[in-house]
Amino acid sequence: MVTGGAGFIGANFIRYVLTKTDFTGRIINFDKLTYAGNPENLADIADQYPARYVLEQGDICDPKRVADVLQKYQVDAVAHFAAESHVDRSILGPGEFVRTNIEGTFTLLEAVRDLWKDRKDVLFHHVSTDEVYGSLGQEGYFTETTPYDPRSPYSASKAASDHLVSAYFHTYGLAVTKSNCSNNYGPYHFPEKLIPLMILKLQKGETLPVYGDGKNIRDWLYVEDHAEAIWTVMTKGVLGETYNVGGENEWENLKLVQVLCEKTAVALGRPAQEFLSLIRFVPDRPGHDRRYAIDCSKIKKELGWKPRTEFSQGLEKTVAWYLANPEWVQNVVSGAYKTWLERNYSAR
């Protein structure tokens, strides 16, 4: 069962497992289908694998619904992606992050503990973020032993869920693995996040809001590389262990936006300077971490995974995908999300 499988990373993970691995079983996509959960992300997969892909709508905070689905399909592995994940949203409304990310993870853990009893031929894999570690200076990297120091309601809620998963391993012997990843990018990314937001604003000729001085640094990871890493951990990882997954690819936000301007200009046959002039600096986000960077030597050395996609190539593929899928974009930016986007970004 994949929780949050209709979201960005979850959908790419399901697509990867069914099309690029030797997995022969069935995947149950358990998703609440909130604004960020889009069944269209896997419409072709549903058609191609009707007997091996099932979508079950449900809330991970609903104990009965979770237990019913686990029991119905006799699930023996869970890949837990479902989470509220947008930092800006967590600042405006932290309650939903506490509910989904903490209470939802607890509900899942209790449900699988009840179903699996003392079985060891099972696995609960928890997908988390590098943001739980806080903020780095100009040097150094996050490792699996870096002390937690979350700075936003989002990262605090993910830190709490990480600790719950670890506690269920140590207290109850539940078969778990965890991964903490850097920023993902690629197809099907909901357009509130930096890269798709900028691509779509460039397409419309709108201003490009950049927080603060634009020198905040993030480590970027192509989403399919992340999917491969998670599958590697689930099939080769040591129970109870955490694996950091990074792109080894640090970029200042401003420089990233400038590169996006150039690549989108090429794709649209427009002058790059026309797009570069759209950049506007806006007041910084509260608690905005200065730098994230992951040391992923553990997963590389112990499990043989490494990022495959070169950043320039990955960005070009991402820009091309958004420009080629206007109907998908229109569908996901309609309704409640469109109202939120206009309220929070359009005036900048």
Instruction: Kindly report the backbone phi and psi dihedral angles of residue 32, in degrees, each rounded to the nearest multiple of 5, phi listed first.
Output: -75, -20
Tell me the mean pLDDT in the region 271-277: 94
Tell me what pLDDT residue 35 has. 79
Q: pLDDT digits over 44-90, tens only? A: 999 999 999 999 999 999 999 999 999 999 999 999 999 998 888 89
Mean pLDDT in the chain? 93
279-282 and 208-211 strand pairing = parallel
Query: For residue 335, is pLDDT > 80?
Result: no
Tell me the mean pLDDT in the region 272-278: 94
CATH homologous superfamily of 2-190+221-249+288-309 equals NAD(P)-binding Rossmann-like Domain (3.40.50.720)
Residue 114 CA, distance from chain mean position: 28
Query: For residue 343, is pLDDT > 80?
Result: no
CA-based nearest residue to 4, from 125, 163, 157, 177: 125
Query: For residue 342, is pLDDT > 60?
Result: no
Query: What CA–CA distances, in Å, run from 16 to 185, 196, 225, 276?
Result: 15, 21, 9, 35
Tell me what pLDDT residue 340 has. 47
Tell me what pLDDT residue 134 has. 93
Pick the range with the lowest mean pLDDT from 29-33, 152-156, 160-164, 326-330.
326-330
SS3 (DSSP) at 129? strand
| Active site (catalytic) residues | 130-131, 154
Tell me what pLDDT residue 346 has. 45
Q: pLDDT digits over 285-324, tens only? A: 888 889 989 999 999 999 999 999 999 999 999 999 999 9
Task: Work out the end-to-end distance of the chain between its first and last CA atoms, rounded to an integer number of angstroms.
Answer: 40
Q: pLDDT digits over 126-180, tens only? A: 999 999 999 898 889 999 999 999 999 999 999 999 999 999 999 999 999 999 9
Q: Which pTM was predicted?
A: 0.92
Q: pLDDT digits over 204-246, tens only? A: 999 999 999 999 999 999 999 999 999 999 999 999 999 999 9
Name the DSSP class of 144: T
Tokens encoding 269:
């046959």
pLDDT band with cut points at 50, 70 and 90 for residue 345: very low
- In 10 A of CB 138, how many CB atoms? 8
Q: Where are the domains of the chain?
A: 2-190+221-249+288-309
Tell me the mean pLDDT in the region 23-37: 92
CA-based nearest residue to 314, from 223, 194, 198, 189: 223
Tell me what pLDDT residue 184 has. 96
Tell me the mean pLDDT in the region 252-264: 96
pLDDT band with cut points at 50, 70 and 90 for residue 339: low
